[in-house]
Every structure is written in C-alpha cells, then in structure tokens.
C-alpha cells in the first residue's frame, strides 16, 4: 500500500471552489434561497475550517492517541500501533463553527473601520480573501509533512512501511467508536444543523417592518472640500445661492425611488404654512446603496424664525406636500438675512399664530 494518503487536498480545493461560488451568487442576481444555501456555509464554516486546517495540518502526535495491537497474537510484544492521528474530522468541523463565529465579525469590523463602505463587495472580499489565503497556507503546510502524518479528509489512514526504533511496524486504520463517542458526534451534528438552519432562515426570511427604513441627513462642503454636517450653514442670504447635499441611504431591502422636496417653512411648520418651495429632485437607490445628492437652494424671502425642511416621499409627491404626508422629514433651523445684511420679517407674519 502506498504511504501517501489519497486526496489529502480535496477539502481545500472544495473550500476555494465554494468561495468562488459565493462571490458569484453575491455579485450577480440569483434566487434568495440559492444564495442562502451558498453564503451560509461560507460564513459559519469556511473561515474556521481553513484556519484550523492551517494551524493543524498533521494528525495528532502519537503520545496523544489510543493504541491497538498490530498483530492480535503478539499483544505486549512491542507491536502496538496508534489507532488514529490528530484532530478527528468531526472535531475539525466542531471547531470550525465557533472559530468562524469569532473570525467573521472581526473581519466585518475591519471593513467598518476602513475607508471602504460596509457593503456586499468589501465584506465578500474580507471573508473570501482570507479563506482562499488560509487554504493555500494549509495546502503548503500539509505538503511539507511526511505522507503518513498528513491530514486527509477521506478514507482510512495508510500503513507506514518504516519501522519504529523498537522494531514495531505501525498500522493506522479505522478505530472503533464507543457509544459515548457516537453520542458526542450526534450532539455536534445536530447542533451544526440547527445553527446553520437558523442562519439560513435569518438570511432568507423577509425582514420585519421595523428593519425597513431610509436614512436621511444634510451635509455641506467645508474648507477642505469634504461633506460634513458641521459645515451646514445656519445663516442664509435671500437671493444668494447655497450648495448643500442631501444624504440618502436605502435600508428598505428593495429598490426605492425617492422624491425630495426642499422647503423654507416657519419653525413651527406643523401648524403654519410653508414660506416657499426651494426645489425638487428624484433619486433611485438599490438596497444598501447610498448617495449624497448635491443641489442649490436660493431663498427669496428672509426671516429669523425659519426652518429649512426636506420632505422625502416614496412614490408620487402629493398636491400639497408637507411634514404630515411625507415618508421622512429633515429639518434645520436657519436664519435668512436680507441682501442688506438684516433679517426682515417674512411677508404674512402677523403674529405668533400667523393670524
């Protein structure tokens, strides 16, 4: 029999192929169920499996294994041989899940604190990139070991032709499992199935209504050319153009078309009429996509008790757009000066109640 275990690299090849398949289903339109079936193992199993494979390319050292007689008629005659080397296949799978649960959030954290956006592409690269790299490392480390010591995912462990110093010839093969071993393996297998099933359900089930929302914010360009909320002016000049940017981030789990109406209203605009409309624009975003839409506003009226209001609608804009019928509302208190530098009272302001 050959000393070299057969197909000792097959599991690593399967890992790399599965990582490539994950990239395909994430980057291209596929059925949600198929995407979950491919992505869930990539998240809950592959990172931990290849990390364990890279750290433990060999079987367990002989002093840590049970021993069986090479020849039943020569028990006690220094003819013992190890029943198995190293981490068992079930043991590697059992370690892979908790290790993945620890590793994947750390990779997501790295993406979050990096300049890259927290989207499918960067997250895919952060998970599949290390998986492929660790698979290559595991392959190289296994290949450097003597053939009988390499971990192999399939088949029994081969016979070694070399004699030990005491003259015995080790024979390595299948070891008998006790009832306790089978119970432990069954508990581990059921746990893995339940955990993978729960993750698959979470990936395919429609999100609750509370998880569907649209993020809206207002920013302006500072002296360094960056868009920040701190640069949003609180004082405007009537007749002068001011460039702002409305930020929209789609968390609706579907494509959404937004229509935005910019208004200049009184600070108690829930009860009083709009002073003037400053502009409208439309934006379409996919789920997870965001945009900072630049635009210019040019108020024609001035006053000291005004509010710059952005009304976000999904679908059509009603005949009388206002905070009461908008999907999202963004408000910023501003002071609009007249071109001469003084705040004038807006026409029609006859009292605190607008009467």
SS3 letters across 212-262: CEEEEEEEEECCCCCEEHHHCCCEEECCCCEEEEEEEEEECCCCEEEEEEE
Q: Residue 133: its pLDDT value, please?
A: 93
Is the pLDDT at 343 greater than 50? The verdict is no
- Write the pLDDT tens digit of every residue in 175-207: 445 565 566 666 666 666 666 565 555 555 555
Position 159 pLDDT exceeds 70: no
Q: Is 282 left (phi over 0), alpha (psi -120 to 50) or beta?
A: beta
Task: Calculate helix-pair angle for 46-55, 89-113, nearest 10 degrees.
Answer: 110
The pLDDT of residue 240 is above 70: yes
Query: What pLDDT, on the 0 to 100 scale, is given for residue 262?
Result: 93
Strand partners, 236: 336
**pLDDT score, position 172:** 43
In this predicted structure, the answer to whether residue 210 has a pLDDT above a threshold of 60 is: no
Q: How far is CA 212 from the centre of its chain?
A: 17
Confidence of residue 297 (pLDDT cuts 50, 70, 90): very high
Give the separation between CA 115 and CA 118, rounded to whole angstroms: 9
Separation CA 174–CA 336 (nearest Å): 84
- Residue showing tokens 């609009």: 336
pLDDT at position 314 over 70: yes
CB–CB of 65/83 below 8 Å? yes
pLDDT grade for 281, boundaries at 50, 70 and 90: very high
Q: What distance in Å separates the CA atoms of residue 268 and residue 182, rounded to the nearest whole number?
A: 71
pLDDT tops 70 at residue 213: yes
pLDDT of 115-140, one tens digit each? 777 677 788 888 888 999 999 999 99
What the block records as the tokens of 81 is: 């041989």
Q: Are 295 and 279 in contact (CB under 8 A)?
A: yes
User: What is the residue extent of each domain of the chain?
Assistant: 10-160+178-204, 211-337
Place of tokens 């698979």: 135
Higher pLDDT, residue 70 or 30 = 30
Lowest mean pLDDT among 48-62, 226-240, 288-302: 48-62
pLDDT at 84 over 70: no
Supply the pLDDT for residue 322. 87
3-state secondary structure of 266: strand
230 contacts: CB under 8 Å, gap ≥ 6? 222
Is the model's pLDDT at 280 over the cut of 90? yes
**The residue to which tokens 């029999």 are assigned:** 1
pLDDT band at 105 (very low <50, low <70, confident <90, very high): confident
Q: Which residue has the higher pLDDT, 257 or 180?
A: 257
- Distance, in Å, from the CA atom of 78 to the CA atom of 70, rounded to the nearest integer, reads 9
- Which residue do the tokens 């450097």 mark? 144
Q: What was the pLDDT predicted at 303?
A: 80
The answer, yes or no, to whether residue 157 has pLDDT greater than 70, is no
Per-residue pLDDT at 39 exceeds 90: no
What letter does residue 31 receive in the DSSP assignment?
-
Ranking 87-101, 129-143, 198-212 by mean pLDDT, the lowest is 198-212
Q: What percent of the chain has pLDDT over 70?
A: 66
Band of residue 146 on the pLDDT scale cut at 50, 70, 90: confident
> What pLDDT shows up at residue 114?
79
CA angle, residues 21, 26, 28, in degrees to nearest 5: 95
Q: What is the rounded CA–CA span in Å between residue 92 and residue 152?
A: 12
State the CB neighbour count (10 A cutoff) for residue 267: 15
- Would you say 8 and 59 are in contact if contact means Cβ atoms under 8 Å apart? no
> DSSP state, 26?
H
Nearest to 308 by CA among 220, 223, 225, 227: 220
* Closest alpha carbon to 295 in 305, 310, 285: 310
Top pLDDT among 212 and 134 is at: 134
Task: Tell me: pLDDT of 272 over 70.
Answer: no
Just give the CATH number of 211-337. 2.60.40.10
CA angle 226, 232, 235 (to 5 degrees): 140
- Band the pLDDT of 258: cuts 50, 70, 90: very high
Angle at the Cα of 40 from the Cα atoms of 34 and 43, rounded to 5 degrees: 145
What radius of gyration, in Å, describes the C-alpha atoms of the chain? 33
């Amino acid at each position: 029999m050959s000393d070299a275990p057969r197909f000792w690299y097959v599991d690593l090849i399967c890992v790399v192929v599965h990582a490539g398949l994950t990239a395909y289903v994430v980057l291209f339109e596929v059925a949600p169920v198929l995407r979950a079936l491919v992505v869930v193992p990539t998240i809950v199993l592959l990172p931990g499996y290849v990390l364990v494979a890279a750290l433990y390319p060999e079987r367990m050292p002989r002093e840590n294994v049970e021993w069986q007689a090479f020849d039943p008629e020569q028990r006690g005659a220094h003819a013992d041989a190890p029943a198995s080397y190293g981490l068992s296949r079930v043991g590697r799978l059992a370690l892979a899940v908790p290790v993945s649960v620890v590793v994947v959030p750390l990779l997501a954290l790295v993406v979050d604190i990096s300049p890259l956006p927290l989207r499918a592409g960067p997250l895919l690269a952060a998970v599949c990139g290390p998986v492929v790299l660790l698979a290559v490392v595991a392959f190289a480390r296994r290949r450097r070991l003597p053939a009988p010591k390499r971990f192999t995912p399939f088949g029994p462990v081969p016979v070694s032709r070399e004699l030990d110093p005491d003259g015995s010839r080790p024979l390595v093969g299948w070891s008998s499992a006790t009832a306790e071993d089978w119970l432990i393996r069954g508990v581990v297998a059921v746990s893995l199935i339940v955990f993978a099933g729960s993750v698959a359900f979470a990936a395919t089930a429609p999100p609750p209504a509370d998880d569907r929302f649209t993020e809206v914010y207002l920013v302006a360009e500072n002296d360094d050319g960056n868009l920040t909320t701190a640069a949003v002016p609180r004082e405007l000049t009537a007749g002068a153009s001011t460039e702002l940017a409305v930020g929209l981030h789609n968390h609706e789990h579907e494509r959404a078309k937004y229509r935005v109406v910019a208004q200049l209203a009184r600070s108690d605009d829930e009860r009083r009429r709009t002073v003037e409309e400053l502009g409208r624009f439309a934006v379409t975003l996919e789920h997870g996509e965001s945009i900072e839409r630049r635009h210019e506003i040019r108020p024609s009226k001035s006053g000291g008790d005004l509010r710059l209001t952005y009304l976000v609608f999904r679908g059509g804009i009603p005949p009388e757009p206002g905070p009461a019928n908008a999907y999202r509302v963004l408000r910023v208190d501003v002071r609009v000066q007249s071109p001469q530098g003084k705040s004038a009272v807006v026409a029609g302001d006859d009292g605190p109640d607008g009467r």
